[in-house]
Amino acid sequence: MQVSDLVFDANRLLTVKNLYVKYKSYWYIYHVLNDISINVGLGEKIGIIGESGAGKTTLLKSILQVLPINGKITSGEIFYRDVNLLKCSKQILLEIRRKRVGMIFQDPLAALNPVFTIKDHLLEVLRYANETANIDKSDLINIALDLLRDTLIPDPERILNSYPFQLSGGMRQRIVIAMALASARELLLADEPTTNLDVTIQAQILKLIGELVEKRGLSMILISHALGLIRKMTERVYVMYGGNIIEEAPTFKLFNEPLHPYTQLLFKTAPKILEPLSSVELRGNPLDYRNLPNGCVFHPRCPYGDSEVCRKVKPHQVKVEKDRTVYCHIYGS
């Protein structure tokens, strides 16, 4: 069986509908994703903003179904083109992972195995990505060298035979990007690709990812808690808090005028260059996923959240404009 190359609707390459994910520990159940719905169009660049622990990485991992062993998708649907990833056969899932979707993981040192060379890493990915094409090893090495050149690695022949620990942080990140690109022919999932890097290297890596995505016509989901980075790289943004999507908007609109109280606070508290520090702060504690608050998940920390309806009723999707939605009672009535 093959995944059909026809997209029935160009706006829907990937659709996640009402997804729920739980993590189980020995004593507790953590409700990490609650009713998440997103969609990614062909060639679209999506950003996901949220604090650490908002469930961003879990969302990406559940798309590829590489959740840790105690994580479980309890309900919902994930459509890739016309295939439901939660119900399809193992074969199709593997095909999608190997040939269509690539993921850049957060920590490049942890994503690379220290006992294998860069060549081993790249060839393994390439072998599966070109499974049916019947290509021999020397061609694969050439493809690997091309990938390294694409990611602007100097002296690719030497790098191919070195080990991850012999490379600098920026270089390692480039290798991880090259590996993701080897299998990403349609969609690139980038999970905080520059968190551990210096600002100058970060700027270079971002420029590189931007150019490669453009050149290969990929769609992208970029996760970050750095607001400036999302602004620069994406077209549309989802804001996550406590395992819920709380706002969706085109990037420039969100950065001009955030609507949800959480997004507003997030933008206000970010250290800025032009304005002095604001004394506004996000009060209260981060969310306890074992027992989520009733009603709006953000109400215990929300500056306007003391009304009855916020405490009791979970906010529904409110369409503010044609392309903007927000989940908040303020905009409901």
Binding site for other proteins (CB under 8 A): 51-52, 168-171, 198-204, 206, 225-229, 231-232, 255, 265-267, 269-274, 276-282, 285-286
Q: How far is the CB of 115 from other proteins (least distance, A)?
A: 22
DSSP 81-127: TTEETTTS-HHHHHHIIIIIEEEE-S-HHHHS-TTS-HHHHHHHHHH
Place of tokens 């899932």: 93
Query: Residue 13 or 177: which CB sits closer to other proteins?
Result: 177
Q: How far is the CB of 45 from other proteins (least distance, A)?
A: 15
Q: How far is the CB of 126 from other proteins (least distance, A)?
A: 26
Nearest to 98 by CA among 123, 119, 133, 128: 128
* DSSP tag of 164: G
> How many C-beta neighbours within 10 Å does residue 242 have?
25
Query: Residue 43 or 169: which CB sits closer to other proteins?
Result: 169
Question: Residue 159: CB partners within 8 Å, gap ≥ 6?
Answer: 118, 148, 153, 167, 171, 175
Amino acid identity of residue 178, one-letter, is A
Query: Residue 272 or 290: which CB sits closer to other proteins?
Result: 272
Q: How far is the CB of 43 from other proteins (least distance, A)?
A: 23
Q: How far is the CB of 245 from other proteins (least distance, A)?
A: 18
Query: Residue 94 or 270: which CB sits closer to other proteins?
Result: 270
Nearest to 71 by CA among 110, 25, 108, 111: 25
Query: Residue 34 or 202: which CB sits closer to other proteins?
Result: 202
